[in-house]
Structure 1
Amino acid sequence: MAGSFAHALWELKQAAGDPSYDRMRAEFGAVASKSALADAARGHRLPSWDITWEFVRPLAVGVLGQEPRAVRRAWRLKWEAAAAQPVLAVAAIPGDRSTFVSDLDVPDGMTVPAGTRIVKTWVLHNSGTVPWIGRYLRRAASFGPDECLTPQEVPIPATRPGEQARVSVDVRVAQSPGYHQVYWKMVDSAGRLMLPGQRAVFFLLHVT
């Protein structure tokens, strides 16, 4: 869950022009240390709310000009949702690695009608030295006005090192207009989190 939250912070930083952490402190007024800001975006653990706000405020309010109270409320809800998620046991295996290749069928940001059904497919490359057997993508978090309905887990085909896997999930699109984003992390058959240091995959829909 920390990984998907960190990805949301990273996306905010990109939207604000990807300023350096030194610039966030010196020019935009972040009071957290450079190391704390950098650690928040790495995804190894969920940052405290105070650190989160010092990451978000200079970018969303100072750079992007968003309304402070609305920004604080929205990001507090995201942070509380992340903090409420159960912590998965981790199974980090030396040599295990995944590389995102592409989206199929439904590119991120695609406009879709509310309440429709779609199939989202990702292509993942086993770029490590460990075969993937009994692996799944598990839904990790979602952001939007309400929920897109999906299975909690979808299977990843057995994939040897050097091969690619196509992983698909059936989606019932949310009923509320707006942008909806759902994150997924790889787990094994026992539900343990694999590849804990890597970013989650996700889909992003513009619902109308």
Structure 2
Amino acid sequence: MGAFADRLLKLKEEAGDPSYAEMSARLGAAASKSSLASAAQGRKLPSWETAWEFVRVLAVDRLGRDPEETEREWRELWERAKAVPSPDDTDTDTVDGAAAPMAHDDTAEAGTAHDDGATVGTADDDGAMAGTAHNDEPAPAPPTTAAEVVQAPAPSARRNRVLVSAMIAAAIILVGLTGFYLATTTGQDDPPARTPAKDDSAFVGDITYPDGSEVRPGSSFKKVWRIRNIGTTSWAGRRLARINTGPCRSPETVPIPPTAPGQTADISVQVRAPDKPGNCRIYWKMTDAQGQELFPDKRPVFLDVRVSAP
């Protein structure tokens, strides 16, 4: 993906190195300036839609290259970059992200002899286990009779019996408290889970002047789009803001009717065609009541008409 990002940067330099804000606004890229900048950073592969808008405004619109050939060439480059595995998939000989520690050469292993001849966990010459004692130290004498073992239990055994009794008593108390809690809370209604608010939109279609429509030079016409509120947030005070320049004239912003979740809104703008034949394309993005752009990763809605000769 780094090689693909380098190609994008090289194309940007060939086209005069415009800023990402200029590419998104004046040049008419259907992607936000942050998305365009991220595409050229190489940290992750951009979506094909963002990559094509990056290439289209520079290679086709600014450098005048053939649209179909350019799209076919860059689509192939993008597919090859997508097929390259991520570095995160490389196996490493580490444990939880860190190399496994190596034992020092002078570390003694269990069951090996010390320099003074004592062996940890091995038997002395007389058959008694030496533990960590040297060979010249006598082993402790065993009990003389089985009766002594029964009549004088070891202190550790007594501690174990006390510990087990305490654990049983604690378990009985815990079971009783759990039953009391369940009895007192049965039937109480749990508070409903709160669903986080979601703000989203979807383009439904062109109501008037679909893409490629012809208009006469100097004529005035009304463009209408229909969009749907597919989120859980009601729209109020929102507008469509123009984000590029061009030969067609129109207001800089137009209002969006108040729209509840699940409803559609028809948005209209009055446009005046230029006096000379040519193409006319205007891009628009939704903003909130304070003029802040919303949905930066979504494609803008746009007007695309052809001004024909009289």
TM-score (norm 2): 0.41
Distance in 1 of aligned mates of 2:58 and 2:42: 13
Task: Tell me what 1:7 maps to.
Answer: 30
Aligned pair 1:60/2:163, yes or no? no
- What displacement does 1:60 show? 2.7
Q: 1:109 to 1:36 in 2, by over 3 A?
A: farther
Distance in 1 of aligned mates of 2:294 and 2:68: 37
The superposition leaves residues 25-50 of structure 1 with CA deviations (integer Å, 9 ceiling, x where unpaired) of: xxxxxxx999887468428xx96x9x
Task: Tell me what 1:165 maps to.
Answer: 265
The superposition leaves residues 88-111 of structure 1 with CA deviations (integer Å, 9 ceiling, x where unpaired) of: xxxxx9611110001112111101
Q: 1:118 to 1:62 in 2, by over 3 A?
A: closer
Aligned pair 1:116/2:219, yes or no? yes
From 225, 228, 244, the equivalent of 1:141 is: 244
Distance in 1 of aligned mates of 2:197 and 2:281: 30
Distance in 2 of aligned mates of 1:123 and 1:62: 30
Distance in 1 of aligned mates of 2:43 and 2:221: 41
Structure with greater strand share of residues: 1
> Relative contact order: is structure 1 or structure 2 higher (C-alpha 8 Å, sep ≥ 6)?
1
For the Cα contact (< 8 Å) 1:6–1:40, is it kept in 2? no
Aligned residues: 150
Aligned pair 1:42/2:50, yes or no? yes
Structure 1 alignment gaps of length 5 or more: 9-31, 65-92
Distance in 2 of aligned mates of 1:183 and 1:198: 12
Structure 2 alignment gaps of length 5 or more: 1-20, 32-39, 71-195
Which structure would you say has the larger Rg? 2
Q: 1:101 to 1:61 in 2, by over 3 A?
A: closer
SS at match of 2:243: strand
- What displacement does 1:7 show? 2.8
CA RMSD in angstroms comes to: 3.8
- What displacement does 1:142 show? 3.7
Task: Tell me what 2:228 maps to.
Answer: 125
Distance in 1 of aligned mates of 2:304 and 2:204: 16
The superposition leaves residues 122-153 of structure 1 with CA deviations (integer Å, 9 ceiling, x where unpaired) of: 0000011111110000011144xxx2111111
Aligned partner letter, 1:136: R
Distance in 2 of aligned mates of 1:6 and 1:128: 26
Counting aligned pairs with the same residue, the percent is 34
TM-score (norm 1): 0.60
